[in-house]
Structure 1
Amino acid sequence: LNTDVLTTSRLVVLAKLLMKRREFVRVLQPFPGPPKHWLYGHVHEFPQDGTDLYKVVKWVETYPLAFPLWFGPSVAVLHGTMLKSDMTPTHPSSICFAGNGLLVSQGQKWFLHRRLLTPGFHYDILKHYVTLMAESARAMLDKWEVYADQDEPFELFNHVSLMTLDSIMQCAFSCRSNCQTER
């Protein structure tokens, strides 16, 4: 009996995911784009070594306004004019989503980028922001006090997002938005 219930619940989840995918396909139908596989999308167009990124350059020229790029069940809508500033035909690894940033780069490129970023994250610069971030976190925790007395789960995403926005507004823009307590 338990396996029947598990199988049924898995089928329900799969059906919901397929319905969401169908809705994505329907909404993105008006956007012209490169041909895709019905299941894999454009995954097979890009080998793991990243040698075939020139296809995106060609697609940007072919579809200059916007086009969907499907990676299995996930989709990204790319805007050609926004990408043109990030890529050059002679160096396709500069494409913004190619994954060649500080976290995955190696060797001389990693060393150079690390040296450029280090001064911005020095302790003496960041220590002034600790109190501002602590105030934002305290405001969030004060809101959570209401939920602590209840025995029901609650969604954290909105609370953490507002706390992050509050911290960024205070640290980067010197603006006290009070977005956590006021609408």
Structure 2
Amino acid sequence: MMEGPADTLRIAPDVTLGERVKIHAFVNLYGCSIGDDSSIGTFVEIQKGAHIGARCKISSHSFICEGVTLGDGVFIGHNVSFINDRFPRATNADGSMQTEADWICEKTVVEDGASIGSGCTILGGLVIGAGAMVGAGSVVTRDVAPGAVVAGNPARPLPGSRSD
């Protein structure tokens, strides 16, 4: 189900949508797949090669880049940004503009049932374990264990939570 006028949705023909996917206005989707019963909020961009599982909720203003895989039942809060390049540059050493051939896409996996709070930044090449919770505003710089609760900059396990 798509909400809002058709001209407010930018969904490329190479997007794979599951059954009963709810997409709000002002989204930009290309080259990605979205599983059954997922909800995509307003002003979300999901890039090529990203995979969204079933029953996920992606809140407004979030950015899911190439190389990100979300398992089933994942919650992404408002204004969450994923990063897929450890060494971002606009140009090469010779001054020429970089192209896709000039960088390595760092893959990130968010396992089933994990939750990422609003305003988080998730660096590339990480795994956020099943059922883990990332507190709002956190910067995740390393893997998060399944079931762990982490918060802060850099995100660290909270006392009493699982951390390994």
Normalized against structure 2, the TM-score is what? Answer: 0.23
Larger fraction in helix: 1
Structure ID, larger Rg: 1
Normalized against structure 1, the TM-score is what? Answer: 0.22
Larger fraction in strand: 2
